[in-house]
Chains A and B, each alone.
Chain A
Amino acid sequence: MTTFALIVSTPPTDNKTSTALKFAQTLVSQGHNITGVFFYQDGVINANHLVQTPSDELNLMSAWQGFNKESGTPLHLCITAAERRGLTDSLDNDLNPNVAENFTISGLGELVVLTSQADKVVQL
């Protein structure tokens, strides 16, 4: 068994994100462990629960959530990258928290932790 850390930097509107998910699923199905998926750059948009995906297309947010539930792999979000792209966990009255369940709000420090604990780092 090998331990991986994954970094996802592409948004749900990019098919590359589907590649990242499938790679993650294959890692787990092959018996490997993932310290966490770290969403950075436009990757953070995957956690926006206001994104409306047409019902006949793959909803990557739900798919990541399902992946988290099935495998227990943590999904981390860089809060600085997220805030500037319209995501918030704020409980202020004029803001509506829109980070989807199963995603954990973190900072870049988490990137350091996830990657330093892994045997292999794959950026997708």
Chain B
Amino acid sequence: MSHRVKSYAIINTSASFDSLKGKESLDAALILASYEMPVSLFFIGDGVYQTINAQSAETIQAKDYIATFKALGFYDIEDIYVCNDSLDARNIATTSVLADAQCCDKHLIKSKLEHCDVVLTF
């Protein structure tokens, strides 16, 4: 049985308020990071909607977990990738709520995923 630090990738494919997927994905990322596991975040498909600036969850009585994205640096989560192709397809300008987010194409996402030990999707 191996017992070692693994690198985790968390892929978000769901829009901001699609059930609790975004929130529960973030909770998992924060815990993994609190245990000092390297965590990278990926936003693809409708997941890119989570990264848009100036969303206002309160308007629809939803928990504003989007605000927590700005604190990811305190959890040492700095490898954050947002899919350009998904942004373009949705006519979204690349203004991200995530300070450390890099916009990149799907080929870069593919190669980043190759080097992670565990991939979880939400």
Direct contact of A and B (CB under 8 A): yes
Q: Which residues of A contact B (CB under 8 A)?
A: 3, 7, 33, 35, 40-41, 80-81, 84, 107-109, 111-112, 115-119, 121, 123
Interface residues as binary, B11-53 with A (CB distance below 8 Å gives 1, 0 otherwise): 0000000001100100110011001010000000000000000
The answer, among B6, B21, B27, for a CB contact under 8 Å with A116, is: B6
The residues of A that contact B37 with a CB separation of less than 8 Å are 112, 116
Number of A-B contacts (CB under 8 A): 46
Say yes or no for B3: interface residue by CB 8 A criterion.
Answer: yes
Enumerate chain A residues within 8 angstroms of B120, measured Cβ to Cβ.
7, 121, 123
> Is B108's beta carbon under 8 Å from chain A?
no
Q: Which residues of B contact A121 (CB under 8 A)?
A: 118, 120
B95 interfacial by beta-carbon distance below 8 Å? no
Once bound together, how far apart are the Cα atoms of A61 and B21, in whole Å? 23
Across the A-B interface, the 6 shortest Cβ-Cβ residue pairs? A108-B31, A112-B35, A121-B118, A3-B1, A41-B24, A117-B3
* Cβ contact within 8 Å between B24 and A81: yes
